[in-house]
Amino acid sequence: MKTTRIATIDVFRAITMFLMLFVNDIPGIKQIPHWLLHAKADEDMLGFSDIIFPCFLFVMGMSVPFALLKRQERGESLWGTSRHIIERTIALIVMGLFTVNLGSYDGAATGIPYSWYTILLVLSFFLTWNLYPKADGIRKYLFTGMKWTGVLLMVALFCLFEGKNGAVFAPKWWGILGLIGWSYLVTAIVFLIVRIRLIPMTIAWLVVLALTILSHNGMLNLSFLPSDMTHHALSVSGAFASVLLIHWGNREKPFKFMGTMFALGASMLALFFLSHPHWIISKIQATPTWLFVCCAISFFMVGILYFLTDVKGKAQWFKLIKPAGTVTLTCYMIPYLWYAVQSLLAWHYPALLSTGVTGLLRSVVFSLVVVWIAGWLMKVNVRLKI
Protein backbone atom coordinates (compact mmCIF):
# COMPACT_ATOMS: atom_id res chain seq x y z
CA MET A 1 0.00 0.00 0.00
CA LYS A 2 1.06 3.61 -0.63
CA THR A 3 1.08 5.71 2.53
CA THR A 4 -0.09 9.30 2.37
CA ARG A 5 0.28 12.06 4.92
CA ILE A 6 -2.65 12.11 7.33
CA ALA A 7 -3.68 15.61 8.33
CA THR A 8 -5.41 14.27 11.46
CA ILE A 9 -2.08 13.14 12.93
CA ASP A 10 -0.24 16.38 12.15
CA VAL A 11 -3.03 18.54 13.56
CA PHE A 12 -3.52 16.39 16.67
CA ARG A 13 0.24 16.49 17.30
CA ALA A 14 0.29 20.26 16.78
CA ILE A 15 -2.55 20.78 19.27
CA THR A 16 -0.93 18.59 21.93
CA MET A 17 2.50 20.20 21.49
CA PHE A 18 1.05 23.71 21.66
CA LEU A 19 -0.89 22.82 24.80
CA MET A 20 2.21 21.18 26.28
CA LEU A 21 4.09 24.46 25.86
CA PHE A 22 1.17 26.24 27.54
CA VAL A 23 0.79 23.92 30.55
CA ASN A 24 4.58 23.86 31.08
CA ASP A 25 4.59 27.66 31.27
CA ILE A 26 1.66 28.27 33.63
CA PRO A 27 3.12 26.90 36.91
CA GLY A 28 3.96 29.90 39.07
CA ILE A 29 1.11 32.03 37.75
CA LYS A 30 -0.99 33.12 40.71
CA GLN A 31 -4.75 33.05 41.05
CA ILE A 32 -5.53 30.55 38.31
CA PRO A 33 -8.03 27.66 38.55
CA HIS A 34 -6.66 24.56 40.24
CA TRP A 35 -8.11 22.34 37.52
CA LEU A 36 -5.67 23.79 34.98
CA LEU A 37 -2.66 22.39 36.84
CA HIS A 38 -1.28 18.90 37.41
CA ALA A 39 -2.95 16.97 40.20
CA LYS A 40 -0.77 15.89 43.09
CA ALA A 41 0.35 12.26 43.37
CA ASP A 42 -2.37 11.27 45.87
CA GLU A 43 -5.08 13.57 44.50
CA ASP A 44 -8.04 11.95 42.76
CA MET A 45 -8.33 14.52 39.99
CA LEU A 46 -7.74 14.90 36.28
CA GLY A 47 -6.19 18.32 35.85
CA PHE A 48 -6.12 19.84 32.38
CA SER A 49 -2.33 19.56 32.46
CA ASP A 50 -2.65 15.82 33.14
CA ILE A 51 -4.34 15.26 29.76
CA ILE A 52 -1.67 16.66 27.44
CA PHE A 53 1.18 14.15 27.85
CA PRO A 54 -1.03 11.05 27.39
CA CYS A 55 -2.58 12.59 24.28
CA PHE A 56 0.93 13.19 22.97
CA LEU A 57 1.84 9.54 23.62
CA PHE A 58 -1.32 8.51 21.78
CA VAL A 59 -0.59 10.63 18.70
CA MET A 60 3.06 9.55 18.77
CA GLY A 61 1.77 5.97 18.61
CA MET A 62 -0.43 6.96 15.67
CA SER A 63 2.57 8.15 13.69
CA VAL A 64 4.55 4.92 14.15
CA PRO A 65 2.72 2.72 11.59
CA PHE A 66 2.84 5.38 8.88
CA ALA A 67 6.50 6.22 9.53
CA LEU A 68 7.59 2.57 9.43
CA LEU A 69 5.44 1.78 6.40
CA LYS A 70 7.03 4.70 4.55
CA ARG A 71 10.46 3.23 5.23
CA GLN A 72 9.24 -0.10 3.93
CA GLU A 73 8.01 1.59 0.73
CA ARG A 74 11.48 3.04 0.19
CA GLY A 75 12.83 -0.49 0.20
CA GLU A 76 14.58 -0.22 3.55
CA SER A 77 15.55 -3.55 5.07
CA LEU A 78 14.24 -4.80 8.39
CA TRP A 79 17.72 -4.25 9.84
CA GLY A 80 17.75 -0.67 8.58
CA THR A 81 14.35 0.02 10.12
CA SER A 82 15.36 -1.67 13.39
CA ARG A 83 18.53 0.41 13.55
CA HIS A 84 16.50 3.59 13.05
CA ILE A 85 14.13 2.57 15.87
CA ILE A 86 17.06 1.89 18.22
CA GLU A 87 18.83 5.14 17.33
CA ARG A 88 15.66 7.17 17.82
CA THR A 89 14.93 5.49 21.13
CA ILE A 90 18.45 6.15 22.39
CA ALA A 91 18.27 9.80 21.33
CA LEU A 92 14.99 10.35 23.20
CA ILE A 93 16.25 8.55 26.30
CA VAL A 94 19.52 10.51 26.33
CA MET A 95 17.70 13.84 26.02
CA GLY A 96 15.21 12.71 28.65
CA LEU A 97 17.98 11.76 31.08
CA PHE A 98 19.73 15.09 30.70
CA THR A 99 16.56 17.16 31.09
CA VAL A 100 15.31 15.22 34.11
CA ASN A 101 18.69 15.60 35.85
CA LEU A 102 18.79 19.34 35.22
CA GLY A 103 16.51 19.75 38.24
CA SER A 104 19.24 18.56 40.62
CA TYR A 105 22.22 20.19 38.87
CA ASP A 106 24.52 22.13 41.22
CA GLY A 107 26.14 25.00 39.38
CA ALA A 108 28.08 26.10 42.44
CA ALA A 109 29.92 22.78 42.58
CA THR A 110 30.96 22.78 38.91
CA GLY A 111 31.55 26.49 38.34
CA ILE A 112 29.14 26.48 35.38
CA PRO A 113 25.91 28.26 36.30
CA TYR A 114 22.69 26.34 35.78
CA SER A 115 21.57 28.66 32.98
CA TRP A 116 24.78 28.29 30.99
CA TYR A 117 24.77 24.53 31.52
CA THR A 118 21.21 24.43 30.13
CA ILE A 119 22.13 26.55 27.11
CA LEU A 120 25.15 24.38 26.33
CA LEU A 121 23.04 21.25 26.75
CA VAL A 122 20.35 22.41 24.30
CA LEU A 123 23.10 23.53 21.90
CA SER A 124 24.61 20.02 22.05
CA PHE A 125 21.19 18.53 21.22
CA PHE A 126 20.79 20.75 18.16
CA LEU A 127 24.33 20.13 16.94
CA THR A 128 23.95 16.38 17.33
CA TRP A 129 20.42 15.81 16.06
CA ASN A 130 19.81 18.70 13.69
CA LEU A 131 18.43 17.67 10.29
CA TYR A 132 21.30 18.95 8.18
CA PRO A 133 20.66 19.47 4.45
CA LYS A 134 22.27 17.09 2.00
CA ALA A 135 25.68 18.39 1.01
CA ASP A 136 28.91 17.47 -0.72
CA GLY A 137 32.52 18.50 -0.32
CA ILE A 138 33.48 20.87 2.46
CA ARG A 139 29.89 21.44 3.61
CA LYS A 140 29.46 17.71 4.19
CA TYR A 141 32.57 17.65 6.38
CA LEU A 142 31.39 20.80 8.15
CA PHE A 143 28.04 19.22 9.06
CA THR A 144 29.74 16.02 10.20
CA GLY A 145 32.09 18.10 12.36
CA MET A 146 29.13 19.93 13.88
CA LYS A 147 27.46 16.63 14.76
CA TRP A 148 30.58 15.32 16.47
CA THR A 149 31.05 18.65 18.26
CA GLY A 150 27.56 18.20 19.69
CA VAL A 151 28.32 14.65 20.82
CA LEU A 152 31.60 15.69 22.48
CA LEU A 153 29.91 18.65 24.17
CA MET A 154 27.21 16.33 25.53
CA VAL A 155 29.85 13.93 26.85
CA ALA A 156 31.69 16.82 28.50
CA LEU A 157 28.49 18.05 30.16
CA PHE A 158 27.82 14.55 31.44
CA CYS A 159 31.34 14.31 32.90
CA LEU A 160 31.02 17.75 34.50
CA PHE A 161 27.65 17.03 36.08
CA GLU A 162 27.37 17.33 39.85
CA GLY A 163 24.05 17.25 41.65
CA LYS A 164 22.88 19.05 44.76
CA ASN A 165 23.45 17.25 48.06
CA GLY A 166 25.50 14.56 46.35
CA ALA A 167 22.81 13.65 43.80
CA VAL A 168 24.20 11.67 40.89
CA PHE A 169 23.22 11.58 37.24
CA ALA A 170 20.52 8.86 37.24
CA PRO A 171 17.41 7.75 35.33
CA LYS A 172 15.00 8.84 38.10
CA TRP A 173 11.69 8.89 36.19
CA TRP A 174 13.42 9.21 32.76
CA GLY A 175 11.92 12.59 31.96
CA ILE A 176 9.15 13.28 29.45
CA LEU A 177 11.36 12.57 26.45
CA GLY A 178 12.70 9.39 28.02
CA LEU A 179 9.18 8.08 28.67
CA ILE A 180 8.29 8.90 25.07
CA GLY A 181 11.41 7.02 23.95
CA TRP A 182 10.54 3.83 25.81
CA SER A 183 6.92 3.91 24.62
CA TYR A 184 8.07 4.52 21.06
CA LEU A 185 10.31 1.46 21.27
CA VAL A 186 7.50 -0.78 22.57
CA THR A 187 5.02 0.50 19.98
CA ALA A 188 7.49 0.10 17.12
CA ILE A 189 8.26 -3.49 18.17
CA VAL A 190 4.55 -4.32 18.42
CA PHE A 191 3.93 -2.89 14.97
CA LEU A 192 6.89 -4.69 13.40
CA ILE A 193 5.40 -7.95 14.70
CA VAL A 194 1.74 -7.44 13.74
CA ARG A 195 2.14 -4.99 10.82
CA ILE A 196 -1.21 -3.75 9.48
CA ARG A 197 -3.07 -6.98 10.17
CA LEU A 198 -6.20 -5.81 11.96
CA ILE A 199 -6.98 -8.87 14.12
CA PRO A 200 -3.38 -9.31 15.42
CA MET A 201 -3.21 -5.54 16.10
CA THR A 202 -6.49 -5.69 18.01
CA ILE A 203 -5.22 -8.63 20.07
CA ALA A 204 -1.92 -6.83 20.78
CA TRP A 205 -3.83 -3.73 21.94
CA LEU A 206 -6.06 -5.77 24.25
CA VAL A 207 -3.03 -7.64 25.66
CA VAL A 208 -1.27 -4.37 26.47
CA LEU A 209 -4.40 -3.04 28.20
CA ALA A 210 -4.70 -6.30 30.16
CA LEU A 211 -1.03 -6.14 31.22
CA THR A 212 -1.59 -2.58 32.43
CA ILE A 213 -4.57 -3.61 34.58
CA LEU A 214 -2.83 -6.72 35.94
CA SER A 215 0.30 -4.77 36.85
CA HIS A 216 -1.70 -2.14 38.72
CA ASN A 217 -3.87 -4.55 40.70
CA GLY A 218 -0.81 -6.46 41.93
CA MET A 219 -1.41 -9.64 39.96
CA LEU A 220 1.64 -9.10 37.73
CA ASN A 221 4.97 -7.56 38.69
CA LEU A 222 6.32 -5.47 35.83
CA SER A 223 8.49 -3.20 37.95
CA PHE A 224 11.55 -4.30 35.96
CA LEU A 225 10.27 -2.28 32.97
CA PRO A 226 11.89 1.15 32.59
CA SER A 227 8.48 2.78 32.12
CA ASP A 228 4.95 2.07 33.34
CA MET A 229 2.77 -0.15 31.13
CA THR A 230 0.19 2.63 31.15
CA HIS A 231 2.47 4.77 28.98
CA HIS A 232 2.97 1.92 26.53
CA ALA A 233 -0.79 1.28 26.45
CA LEU A 234 -1.39 4.89 25.43
CA SER A 235 1.02 4.76 22.50
CA VAL A 236 -0.08 1.28 21.37
CA SER A 237 -3.66 2.60 21.46
CA GLY A 238 -2.56 5.28 19.02
CA ALA A 239 -0.98 2.67 16.73
CA PHE A 240 -4.23 0.67 16.91
CA ALA A 241 -6.16 3.78 15.82
CA SER A 242 -3.84 4.16 12.83
CA VAL A 243 -4.23 0.54 11.75
CA LEU A 244 -7.99 1.04 11.88
CA LEU A 245 -7.50 4.20 9.80
CA ILE A 246 -5.47 2.28 7.23
CA HIS A 247 -8.24 -0.31 6.88
CA TRP A 248 -11.38 1.79 7.27
CA GLY A 249 -10.34 5.38 6.55
CA ASN A 250 -12.32 6.71 3.61
CA ARG A 251 -12.74 10.41 2.88
CA GLU A 252 -15.83 9.73 0.78
CA LYS A 253 -17.44 7.42 3.34
CA PRO A 254 -15.82 8.44 6.65
CA PHE A 255 -18.48 7.29 9.10
CA LYS A 256 -17.27 3.72 9.56
CA PHE A 257 -13.90 4.92 10.85
CA MET A 258 -15.36 7.87 12.74
CA GLY A 259 -18.04 5.66 14.30
CA THR A 260 -15.35 3.20 15.40
CA MET A 261 -13.36 6.01 17.03
CA PHE A 262 -16.42 7.25 18.91
CA ALA A 263 -17.35 3.70 19.92
CA LEU A 264 -13.83 3.08 21.24
CA GLY A 265 -13.96 6.41 23.06
CA ALA A 266 -17.27 5.48 24.66
CA SER A 267 -15.89 2.05 25.64
CA MET A 268 -12.85 3.64 27.28
CA LEU A 269 -15.12 6.06 29.11
CA ALA A 270 -17.19 3.13 30.39
CA LEU A 271 -14.01 1.40 31.59
CA PHE A 272 -13.05 4.62 33.34
CA PHE A 273 -16.27 4.69 35.36
CA LEU A 274 -16.04 0.97 36.13
CA SER A 275 -12.44 1.22 37.32
CA HIS A 276 -12.71 4.49 39.26
CA PRO A 277 -13.87 2.77 42.48
CA HIS A 278 -10.62 0.76 42.42
CA TRP A 279 -8.06 3.41 41.40
CA ILE A 280 -7.85 7.17 41.71
CA ILE A 281 -7.27 9.26 38.60
CA SER A 282 -3.55 10.01 38.76
CA LYS A 283 -1.04 10.94 36.07
CA ILE A 284 1.87 10.58 38.50
CA GLN A 285 0.78 7.09 39.54
CA ALA A 286 -0.17 6.30 35.90
CA THR A 287 -3.35 4.58 37.05
CA PRO A 288 -5.64 2.63 34.69
CA THR A 289 -8.39 5.19 35.28
CA TRP A 290 -6.07 7.90 33.94
CA LEU A 291 -5.30 5.65 30.97
CA PHE A 292 -8.96 4.98 30.18
CA VAL A 293 -10.16 8.56 30.38
CA CYS A 294 -7.20 9.86 28.34
CA CYS A 295 -7.71 7.13 25.72
CA ALA A 296 -11.37 8.13 25.55
CA ILE A 297 -10.42 11.76 24.94
CA SER A 298 -7.86 10.74 22.30
CA PHE A 299 -10.21 8.44 20.37
CA PHE A 300 -12.89 11.14 20.37
CA MET A 301 -10.33 13.72 19.18
CA VAL A 302 -9.18 11.49 16.33
CA GLY A 303 -12.77 11.01 15.15
CA ILE A 304 -13.48 14.75 15.25
CA LEU A 305 -10.18 15.83 13.68
CA TYR A 306 -10.46 13.22 10.93
CA PHE A 307 -13.81 14.71 9.92
CA LEU A 308 -12.53 18.29 10.09
CA THR A 309 -9.15 17.86 8.41
CA ASP A 310 -9.02 14.79 6.16
CA VAL A 311 -12.70 14.76 5.17
CA LYS A 312 -13.66 18.45 5.12
CA GLY A 313 -10.17 19.78 4.38
CA LYS A 314 -10.14 22.29 7.23
CA ALA A 315 -6.53 21.70 8.30
CA GLN A 316 -5.86 25.38 7.54
CA TRP A 317 -7.88 26.24 10.62
CA PHE A 318 -4.84 25.12 12.59
CA LYS A 319 -2.27 26.87 10.38
CA LEU A 320 -1.17 29.16 13.21
CA ILE A 321 0.20 26.21 15.20
CA LYS A 322 1.21 24.02 12.24
CA PRO A 323 4.97 24.00 13.08
CA ALA A 324 4.12 22.40 16.43
CA GLY A 325 3.02 19.33 14.48
CA THR A 326 6.01 19.17 12.14
CA VAL A 327 8.98 20.40 14.20
CA THR A 328 7.65 19.16 17.52
CA LEU A 329 10.95 18.41 19.24
CA THR A 330 12.32 21.84 18.31
CA CYS A 331 9.26 23.43 19.92
CA TYR A 332 9.81 21.40 23.08
CA MET A 333 13.43 22.51 23.45
CA ILE A 334 13.10 26.25 22.79
CA PRO A 335 11.57 27.08 26.22
CA TYR A 336 14.67 25.64 27.94
CA LEU A 337 16.71 28.32 26.18
CA TRP A 338 14.26 31.09 27.02
CA TYR A 339 14.03 30.22 30.70
CA ALA A 340 17.84 30.03 30.88
CA VAL A 341 18.25 33.44 29.23
CA GLN A 342 15.54 34.89 31.46
CA SER A 343 17.46 33.63 34.50
CA LEU A 344 20.78 35.03 33.26
CA LEU A 345 19.18 38.44 32.77
CA ALA A 346 17.47 38.19 36.17
CA TRP A 347 14.33 39.37 34.39
CA HIS A 348 10.84 38.57 35.62
CA TYR A 349 7.43 39.18 34.17
CA PRO A 350 5.56 42.10 35.77
CA ALA A 351 2.88 41.15 38.29
CA LEU A 352 0.12 41.84 35.77
CA LEU A 353 1.51 39.09 33.49
CA SER A 354 1.99 36.64 36.34
CA THR A 355 -1.53 36.66 37.76
CA GLY A 356 -4.92 35.38 36.72
CA VAL A 357 -6.32 35.75 33.21
CA THR A 358 -3.56 38.06 32.00
CA GLY A 359 -0.97 35.54 33.17
CA LEU A 360 -2.73 32.78 31.22
CA LEU A 361 -2.90 35.00 28.14
CA ARG A 362 0.84 35.61 28.49
CA SER A 363 1.42 31.85 28.42
CA VAL A 364 -0.77 31.51 25.31
CA VAL A 365 1.24 34.23 23.56
CA PHE A 366 4.51 32.66 24.74
CA SER A 367 3.44 29.29 23.29
CA LEU A 368 2.54 30.90 19.97
CA VAL A 369 5.88 32.71 19.82
CA VAL A 370 7.74 29.45 20.49
CA VAL A 371 5.84 27.75 17.65
CA TRP A 372 6.59 30.68 15.33
CA ILE A 373 10.31 30.58 16.20
CA ALA A 374 10.41 26.83 15.58
CA GLY A 375 8.77 27.38 12.18
CA TRP A 376 11.30 30.07 11.29
CA LEU A 377 14.22 27.90 12.40
CA MET A 378 12.94 25.12 10.14
CA LYS A 379 13.15 27.51 7.18
CA VAL A 380 16.84 28.12 7.89
CA ASN A 381 17.58 24.37 8.24
CA VAL A 382 17.62 24.28 12.05
CA ARG A 383 15.37 21.43 13.05
CA LEU A 384 15.72 18.66 15.61
CA LYS A 385 15.02 15.41 13.81
CA ILE A 386 15.61 11.91 15.15
The larger pLDDT score, comparing residue 109 to residue 208, is at 208
Residues 105-112, mean pLDDT to the nearest whole number:
92
Residue 328: closest CA among 135, 165, 176, 224: 176
Non-local CB neighbours of 61 within 8 Å, separated by 6+ positions: 183, 187, 234, 235, 236, 237, 238, 239, 240, 241, 242
| Residue 1 pLDDT > 60 | no
Distance CA 205, CA 342 (A): 44
Q: For residue 224, what pLDDT is reported?
A: 87
Note the pLDDT of residue 357.
97
More confident residue, 165 or 370: 370
Q: pLDDT tens, 148-197? A: 999 999 999 999 999 998 899 999 999 999 999 999 999 999 999 999 99
Task: Give yes or no for residue 121 having a pLDDT over 80.
Answer: yes
Q: What integer is the mean pLDDT of 315-337?
A: 97
Given this model, what pLDDT does residue 36 score?
97
pLDDT band at 5 (very low <50, low <70, confident <90, very high): confident
Contact between 151 and 196 under an 8 Å Cβ cutoff? The reply is no
Q: Quote the pLDDT of residue 2.
A: 60
Tell me the mean pLDDT in the region 348-362: 96
The pLDDT confidence band at residue 3, using thresholds 50, 70 and 90, is: low
CB 303 within 8 A of CB 265: yes
C-alpha to C-alpha distances, 237 to 147, 183, 256, 296, 315, nearest whole angstrom: 35, 11, 18, 10, 23
pTM for the model = 0.96
In whole angstroms, give the CA distance from residue 384 to residue 26.
Answer: 25
Residues 26-31, mean pLDDT to the nearest whole number: 95
pLDDT-based confidence at residue 20 (cuts at 50, 70, 90): very high
- Mean pLDDT value across residues 119-143: 96
Task: Give pLDDT tens digits for 32-66.
Answer: 999 999 999 999 999 999 999 999 999 999 999 99
67-72 contacts: CB < 8 A, separation 24 or more? 68/188, 68/191, 68/192, 69/1, 69/3, 69/196, 70/3
Rounded to 5 degrees, φ, ψ at 355 are: -140, 135
Please give the mean pLDDT across all residues of the chain: 96
Res 288 pLDDT > 70: yes
pLDDT band with cut points at 50, 70 and 90 for residue 316: very high
Q: Measured between alpha carbons, how far is 181 from 165 in angstroms, rounded to an integer? A: 29
Specify the pLDDT at position 183: 98
Tell me the three-class secondary structure of the chain, residue by residue: CCCCCCHHHHHHHHHHHHHHHHHHHCCCCECCCHHHCCCCCCCCCCCCHHHHHHHHHHHHHHHHHHHHHHHHHCCCCHHHHHHHHHHHHHHHHHHHHHHHHHHHECHHHHCCCHHHHHHHHHHHHHHHHECCCCCCHHHHHHHHHHHHHHHHHHHHHHHHCCEHHHCCCCCCCCHHHHHHHHHHHHHHHHHHHHCCCHHHHHHHHHHHHHHHHHHHCCCCCCCCCCCCHHHHHHHHHHHHHHHHHHHHCCCCCCHHHHHHHHHHHHHHHHHHHHHCCCCCCCCCCCCHHHHHHHHHHHHHHHHHHHHHHHHCCCHHHHHHHCHHHHCHHHHHHHHHHHHHHHHHCCCCCCHHHHEHHHHHHHHHHHHHHHHHHHHHHHHCCCCECC
Q: For residue 223, what pLDDT band results from cuts at 50, 70 and 90?
A: confident
Between residues 275 and 109, the one the model is more confident about: 275
Contact predicate 21/335, CB 8 Å: yes
The predicted structure's pLDDT at residue 369 = 98
